[in-house]
Amino acid sequence: MKKSKFKSYILWFNEIGIDDIELVGGKNASLGEMHNNLKRKKIQVPPGFAITVYAYKHILEKSGGFNSLREVLSQLNHKDTNSLAFIGEKAREIILNCEIPSDLQNEIVDAYHNLSSQYKLKNIDVAIRSSATSEDLPTASFAGQQETYLNISGEKEVIAACKQCFASLFTNRAIAYRCEQKIDHLSSYLSIGVQKMIRSDLASAGVIFTLDTESGFQNVVYVTGSYGLGESIVQGTVNPDEFYVFKPTLKQGYKPIINKIIGEKAVKIVYLKNITKTIDTPLEDRKKFCINDEEVLQLAKWAIDIEDHYSKKNKKWTPMDIEWAKDGETNQLYIVQARPETVQSQKNQNIINEYILTQKSSIITTGKSVGNKIATGVARVINNIKEMDQFKHGEILVTDKTDPDWMPIMRIASAIVTNRGGRTSHAAIVSRELGLSCVVGTTNATSLIKNGEPITVDCSGGEVGVIYNGLLEFKINTIDVQKIPSPKTKIMLNVSYPDEAFALSLLPSDGVGLAREEFIINECIRIHPMALIKFEEVKDLQIIEQINLLTFGYSDKSQFFVDKLAMGVATIAAAFHPRDVILRFSDFKTNEYINLIGGKYFEPKEENPMIGWRGASRYYKDGYKEGFALECKAIKKVREEFGLKNLKVMIPMCRTPKEGEKVIQAMKKNGLVKGKNDLEVYVMCEIPSNVILVDQFCDIFDGFSIGSNDLTQMILGVDRDNELIADIYDERSDAVKRMIEHVIRIAKAKNRKIGICGDAPSTYPEFAKFLVDCGIDSISLSADALIKTRIIIANHEAKG
């Protein structure tokens, strides 16, 4: 007579689904759910079977193990690391000393041989994975609390690994985690997944999140990967490759890999028989991505399908945390695990906490930031897990990397800093769950930070996390987005750096009124475009070496400029999609361009660069027009390859209408046609000729953005950088205001859009009110002024 499902020792993946967590644990339930429901999406899940919790109970009930565990666990003080280690060891011994009943053992062996026969092999290599009933839940991931055993072959080895897996329900870290989550130890059961082994040790593996892990931005798939087994990423052993894919346009058939960051990938984990070994990654492999663009896009599509499936099933948006692997023998991609993301999805997206550092001191080191918080405390450098008992509550943990065994002290730390690891490493994942500031991948924290030293861990500045000397002061601004009024005037943001974009997009804005190319070029590219186009003209050996290092892997060096600029721009455009993003083409002055790598070979020396060869005049003239062509190619890529048609462009320092026409022609020659695919072209209004000839500029451009900084300088004839006459410089001058009122009136009469992106409305509330009274369409502000100015303008509009 066949046993019921709930009395079975063995269930194959095609017999289970996500509703069977109590029977097969979160991991196995999810594998079964994907196996049964996502085959039509061609998502590949390695076949396998689950050894159910009924089997686990059967072992302990038959041997009296439950009573023994209850007695041992009653003596636990989970806040004492020594007690935790002692009790954990005793609990594992109890399970390891239990005999697996013969009926259960026979069923496991039969299922293993059945799986082997599917591949026409006698003894297939399998992964033995724990799957607890209290893991992979929407509110508690339990990531890595129990053990996994890889490359297991042969029935004796399978049985031995299963026994070890059952015992791992009582690892020290799992006991501590259950205490933290207030889950009863004896009500948490273990299932085991036995799954065809994917030979990622011969290829690569990684982790995928269907959101941005730092900001909670929902419209990206974040893929990480490295060579060898995926444990190297989860454990934080490596700084992996990172890829961001934009969901909305991927669904439309575009190829929107909006950012790619090559990781160090210094080591990889491979296996020899049933043991794993960490070895150095060959240097040539470290310098290239571990998967190609098509594979990134394939993984992103699968991730979206998985997210859509779980969201539909749960009747609410369910972002996912997914593990993938590539088989080095077949070159096939597989999904080996999927669980709900448990940090950002639990947050109220309408509440934004802004951490602002109000002091500065010397920087000790930097790395990748996790979260956006700031923390202060005394540093405790722990080089070995055996030193855990030295750690005190509230200290900042500084170590090489963490793994689940570090949980007991991580949960009492005020912040975490590691030498190694990326944003999907164990340290990063746990820090997010615990709400801690964390900086990973510093490479040198344990050597530069001294034990007992007071430090500040600052993750508030975007992608780069900074560790400062001393206990610095900071403040927290709490913003409820729902309570911010919406004025009729569009309130937009000035955005400089791509790594800020996802977080800034959550603020209540109508898009980006000014995105600056020069910040992207300075930060992400660093090389003068002409030095890439005419590389042979660069003679300095040190500069040649710098360029070769930065452009490694590019046979066409100018393509490096196009790709990097496109990804920087795309990150901003994606963050605010479908809201407008207005990008200003490069507006370096010659004295700024010359500071880019190789710039000295291509820039003239000017007496007054402020009113020299800058902006529009560069785009169509010999000496830079080829560089402008690269800028156009980057924008074309963002709009046509990535599908981000919300991107508009803007021409700076356009002195005459004739010059405007020349720029429009140069753009057309390079594939950017005004009006095609809704491409709008704006012009900066920042010199008197733009105001005086506004009607003629209206015939050429779709709109204007007033640059009040330069306009004030030009109208008043004041060098704003000269402290001797700085007191004369004032945007509130009647001369400036009359010019602005005039240009707004004519632009509106000509049915052209007009906004402002200068600092004046951010600095002076009365100036913002003046612009509203003039009938301006949009006001673009710095992020720190957005909320207060939005409220001021809404109140001013309400008064009529």
Considering 185, 426, 528, 796, which one is annotated as catalytic? 426
Instruction: Scan for tokens 């289970």, then name that residue.
Output: 16
With contact defined as beta carbons under 8 Å apart, do 9 and 52 qualify? Answer: yes
Element (H or E) spanning 166, and its range? helix 155-167
* Number of CB atoms found within 10 A of residue 784's CB: 12
Quote the strand ranges of 585-693, DSSP E: 647-651, 681-685
- Residue whose C-alpha is closest to residue 372's, from 344, 398, 396: 344
Backbone angles phi, psi at 264, to 5 degrees: -65, -40
Cα–Cα nearest to 35, from 189, 167, 193: 193
- How is residue 378 written in tokens? 């005394």
Token match 């020349």: residue?
662
Label residues 178-206 b or e (16+ Cβ within 10 Å = b). Answer: bbeeebebeebbbbbbbbbbbbbbebbbb
Strands 126-132 and 190-196: antiparallel
- 198/205 Cα distance (integer angstroms): 10
In what side-by-side order are the strands of the sheet with 241-246?
257-261, 241-246, 220-227, 204-209, 320-326, 333-340
Residues 6+ apart with CB under 8 A from 285: 227, 265
- For helices 765-774 and 783-799, the axis angle rounded to 10 degrees is 50
Whether 395 and 450 have beta carbons less than 8 Å apart is answered as: no
Three-state secondary structure string covering 744-788: HHHHHHCCCEEEECCCHHHHCHHHHHHHHHHCCCEEEECHHHHHH
* d(C-alpha 302, C-alpha 699), whole Å: 47
Separation between Cα atoms, residue 246 and residue 219, nearest integer Å? 6
Within 8 A by CB and 6+ apart from 403, the residues are: 144, 235, 236, 426
Q: Convert 269-293 to b/e letters by CB count within 10 Å (16 or more is b).
A: bbbeebebebeebeeeebeebbbee
Strand partners, 377: 455
Is 426 annotated as catalytic? yes
Distance CA(573)–CA(646), nearest Å, equals: 7
Nearest to 605 by CA among 590, 619, 593: 590
DSSP assignment of 424-437:
TSHHHHHHHHHT-E
Q: How far apart are the first and last CA of the chain?
A: 82
Helices 734-749, 765-774: axis angle to 10 degrees equals: 30
The continuous run of DSSP H or E covering 455 comes out as: strand 454-458
Kind and range of the H or E element at 257? strand 257-261
The question of whether 528 is a catalytic residue gets the answer no
CA angle 105, 110, 114 (to 5 degrees): 150
State the greatest distance between any 2 C-alpha atoms of the chain, in Å, as a whole number: 97
Amino acid at 281: T
Name the catalytic one among 459, 654, 698, 757.
757
Q: Tell me the angle at which helices 625-636 and 557-576 cross, rounded to the nearest 10 degrees.
A: 50
Which residue numbers are catalytic?
Answer: 426, 757
